[in-house]
Amino acid sequence: MERTELQLPETFDFETRLEARVGDINYGNHVGNDAMLTLLHEARLRFLATRGFSELDAGGCGLTLVEALVQYRAQAFRGDTLRIGVALAAMDRAGFVLLYRVTREADNAEIARARTVLIFFDYARRRVCRAPQAFRDAFAPSVPGPAAV
């Protein structure tokens, strides 16, 4: 079976810590798929906030998630403190790619790698919009260059 291999950067633009809670645990007694996406979402919100943005206002447009890929490397359990690194990997005229690395703080085990694609979206008009200049300017030093999103 062919699998996509996510290549991650050496360093991340942002890192945060989140604890795996009882509600994150599935019947397999580890962090579930849905919970991992929620943890990544929280990390993304914190990352955006460091530059003064939110998913409802990213410089004049909102954001909407259009793609998510999670690759698991190990299990995480209730009470584990997870370090989540976030890096802006690419931006184009209407969206951007974020890469994530999730590690367990106690033993530095890599739990997961992830990739999300977000587009700029005008919720009032219900349509995609161009990347706001304020957003581009805030992230310009960390973006490696244009890429198809």
Q: What is the pLDDT of residues 94-120, one digit of tens each?
A: 999 999 999 999 999 999 999 999 999
The residue behind tokens 């990213």 is 58
Contact 111, 102 (CB under 8 A): yes
- Per DSSP, helices labelled H in the chain are 33-49, 133-139
State yes or no: pLDDT of 146 exceeds 50.
Answer: no
State yes or no: pLDDT of 48 exceeds 70.
Answer: yes
Q: What is the pLDDT of residues 52-96, one digit of tens each?
A: 999 999 999 999 999 999 999 999 999 999 999 999 999 999 999
Local confidence band at 142 (pLDDT 50, 70, 90 cut-offs) = low
pLDDT number for residue 147: 44
Local confidence band at 141 (pLDDT 50, 70, 90 cut-offs) = low
Amino acid identity of 110?
E
